[in-house]
A and B are shown apart, each in its own frame.
Chain A
Amino acid sequence: MEKRVTFSRWTVGILFAVPQMLLIFTFFYWPAGQAVYWSLTLQQPWGGGNIWVGLDNFRSILASADYWNSITASLAFAAISTGLAMVIALVLAALTDRQLAGSRFYRVVLIWPYGIAAPALALAFRFILAPEAGFMAVVNRAWPGFWDPGLDGADAMASIIAAFSWKYVGYNFIFFLAAFQAIPRSLIEASAMDGAGVVRRFRDIQFPLITPTIFFLLVINITESFQDSFGIVDIMTSGGPANATNLMVYKIYSDGFKGLDYSGAAAQSIILMMLIVVLTIFQFRFIERRVHYR
C-alpha cells in the first residue's frame, strides 16, 4: 500500500494548496483569461477602452495567408526540430549507455546547452552559421551561393532548426541515458543469452522499455518548439526572409508589439494555445497507447 498523508480537516489541506493555486492563478489563468478577453475585443491604439467585436479578430487572422504560412512554418519547425533533437539524443544515449567511464562528465556537459538562454545561443549560432565567416563559409567557398540564410528561406529555417535542436539534444540525452540505465542489466544479458545481437536487443528490449521516456520527451519537445523558439527566431532571423521563419510565437510578438495589433496578437495566442492543447491531447490519445509502462 502506498502511504499517503491524510488531514483530519479539509481546511488544512486547502491551506497547503493555496500558495501553489495562487501562483498558477496569477501567472496562468489570469493572463490566459485576459488574452481570451482581448481576443474578443478591439483594443484602441491610444487607450480609451475595448470595443467588443466577437470573433472578428479570429476571422481576420484565419483569412490571412500570412497566418497560414506561419502555422505551416511552425508545424514544419516543430516536426523537424523535435525529430532531429530526439533521434540524435537517442543515438548518443544508446552509445553512451554501458560505456560508463566518464558518464558523469557527459551528463554535466550535455545538460549545459539546455541551460543557455535562447538569445545567447541564437547569437552563437548566428556567427557559426554566418555565410561569410562561419563554418558554412567553407562550403560557400566550394559552392558559391550554396548557403545564405539571409536570402534563402529554407536556409534560414535550417539555421533555427539547427540552433533549437542543439539545445534540446542535451536535454533529451539526459533523459534517454537515465532511461537506458534504468533498464536492469540482466534483461540485456538475458536477451544476449537468447541470441539477440546489439541491434536486435535495442529494437526488441531497450527501445520498448524506454517508450515512456520517448513519449514524455515528444510532448515536451513539441510543446517547447512552439514556445521556446521565440528567442532563437528573434536573434537569428527576425522571422525573415520573406516570413519564411515567422513562427506563430514570433508572429504574436511582431504583430502585437511591433504592429501594435494587440487584439489580433491575443487571438493568435489563443489559437497557439488551442493548437498545443489539441496536439497534446492527440499524443496522449493515440501515441500513449503504444507506450509500455512497467
Chain B
Amino acid sequence: MASITIRDVRKSYARSQVVHGVDLDIASGEFVVILGPSGCGKSTLLRMIAGLEEISGGEIAIDGTVVNRLEPRERGCAMVFQNYALYPHMSVAQNIGYSLKVAGVASAERTERIRAVARILELEPLLERKPAALSGGQRQRVAMGRAMIREPKVFLFDEPLSNLDAKLRVQMRSEIRKLHRRLNATSVFVTHDQVEAMTLADRLVVMNGGRVEQVGTPGEIYSRPASRFVATFVGAPAMNILEGVVALDGLSLLGGSRRLAISRAGLPVGTEVAAGIRPEAVRLVAPGTRGALDATVDLVEELGAGRVVYVDLDGASFSVVTSETVHPLPGTAVGLQFSQADMHFFSSETGARLDVFKASVPVPAL
C-alpha cells in the first residue's frame, strides 16, 4: 500500500503538450478513477505513474519516493492494460506467474501463489490454456491475476473494461470493486465511461484537455460540477445547458425568448452565463402551468423503468428523465418545471462554476 503524490506533472511530445501541470494526491488504499474524453491525457498520466512514459516536467512520488527516474519494475506498480496484453505464447499459469519467474521466485512457491490467485479469480480450471482459447472476460481476469500476484503497492488500470460487452462490464466492475475491498491496494483507474467511474471511485478526477477539471467524490462531482465541461460530461443523459444573459429581473434565456425570475446576486446585468439543469431534476407538467417553461415534445426514448423525453425549447434541445406514468406523445405541448436549487450556473466565458445565484423558491418563469 502506498500513497501517490503528483506535483505539476507535464508531458509534452515534440510539438504538442498533452498534460499541462497536473496536481493530485492519492491516499494509501484509495480507489481513484480518472475520467475524461479520449485524448484528454488521462492514459498518459497513468503511464507516467507506471513509468512507461517519460515525465517531461514535475514530479511523481510513490510513498514519498520520487520515481521520475526509476524503471517501471522499480516502482512497485502493476498495470492492467486495455487489450489485456497477455503473452500469447504462454499458458494462463505462465502469464500470471511471469513476474515471479523474472523475480526468481522458486518454482514450488510460484505454483502455490499462482493457485492462490487463480482461486480468487476462479481461473483454476483454465490454468493450462493459452490466452487465445479464453473468452474476453476470462482474459480480463487473467490480466487482473497477473497484476495481483505481485502484491503491488499500486494497481493501475488503463480502461480495462472497454473491450468487454455491456453485461460482462457490469460484472467485472463489481468484481474489481470487491477485489479492491479485499486487497485494499491503492488503485488508479482510467476510463472514459462515466458509469464505470461513478460506480468504482472513492474519488473521481475529471480531466479535459490535459488539465484536471475537478477532483471529488462521485456525489460531489454530480451535484456540484466545478465547470461546464464536468457538468455536461458526467451524467447521462447530459445536463441541459441554456445560454442566457443576466437581466435586471433575472435571467434572459435563449436570446431573450424565455425568462427566469431568479435573483442575480451581484452579477452585472449583461453577463453571459450558461444555466444548467439535470434531466432528472425537471418535472413534466401540463402546458401553461404557472412557473413552468412551455415546450414541444420531440422524441421519447423508452427505458423500461422510465423514459427520456426530448423536447424542443425554441429550437434548443432539452431532455427530461421521467419515471412517472406520463407518456407524452411527440408533437404535444408540455410544461417544464424545476427549482432554482437544482440549477447550476457557469460563466459563458470561462466555463467555471458561478455560485452567486442564491437558491430560492421554485423558479417562476415570466
- Which A residues are closer than 8 A to B by beta carbons? 184, 186-187, 189-197, 200, 204-205, 208-209, 292, 294
Contacts and interface: CB of A to CB of B under 8 A. Distances in A.
Interface of B: 50-52, 71-73, 77-79, 81-83, 85-89, 98-99, 102-103, 132, 146, 150
Contacts of A292: 88-89
Contacts of A191: 87, 98
B85 A190 contact: yes
A189 B85 contact: yes
Contact of A187 (B51, B82, B87): B87
Contact of A193 (B73, B83, B89, B132): B73
A187 B102 contact: no
B139 to A, nearest CB: 13
A198 to B, nearest CB: 10
B interface secondary structure, majority: loop
A159 B89 CA distance: 40
In order of increasing CB-CB distance, the 8 nearest A-B pairs are A186-B85, A194-B99, A292-B89, A195-B73, A190-B85, A195-B102, A208-B89, A192-B72
A204 B98 contact: yes
Given A208-B89, A292-B88, A194 B102 contact: yes
A192 B86 CA distance: 13
A200 B52 contact: no
A195 B149 CA distance: 13
A153 B273 CA distance: 91
B89 A209 contact: yes
Contacts of B52: 189, 192-193
Q: Which of A190, A191, A294 has the most CB of B within 10 A?
A: A190
Contacts of B132: 294
19 contacts: A189-B52, A189-B79, A190-B79, A190-B86, A192-B71, A192-B72, A193-B50, A193-B73, A193-B77, A193-B99, A194-B146, A195-B102, A196-B73, A200-B102, A204-B87, A204-B98, A208-B89, A209-B88, A292-B89
B99 A184 contact: no
Contacts of A190: 79, 81, 85-87, 146
Contacts of A197: 73
Nearest to B94: A204
A95 to B, nearest CB: 20
A129 B173 CA distance: 67
B304 to A, nearest CB: 34
Nearest to A211: B89
Contacts of B87: 187, 190-191, 204-205
A187 B81 CA distance: 9
A290 to B, nearest CB: 11
A292 B90 CA distance: 10
A189 B102 CA distance: 14
Contacts of B81: 186, 189-190
B45 to A, nearest CB: 15
Contacts of A209: 88-89
A187 B146 contact: no
A253 B143 CA distance: 59
A196 B102 contact: yes
Nearest to B75: A193
Most chain B beta-carbon contacts within 10 A, residue among A189, A191, A194, A204 = A194
A222 B88 CA distance: 29
Given A184-B85, A192-B73, A208-B89, 10 more contacts: A187-B87, A193-B77, A194-B102, A195-B150, A196-B73, A204-B87, A204-B98, A204-B102, A209-B88, A209-B89
Contacts of A200: 102
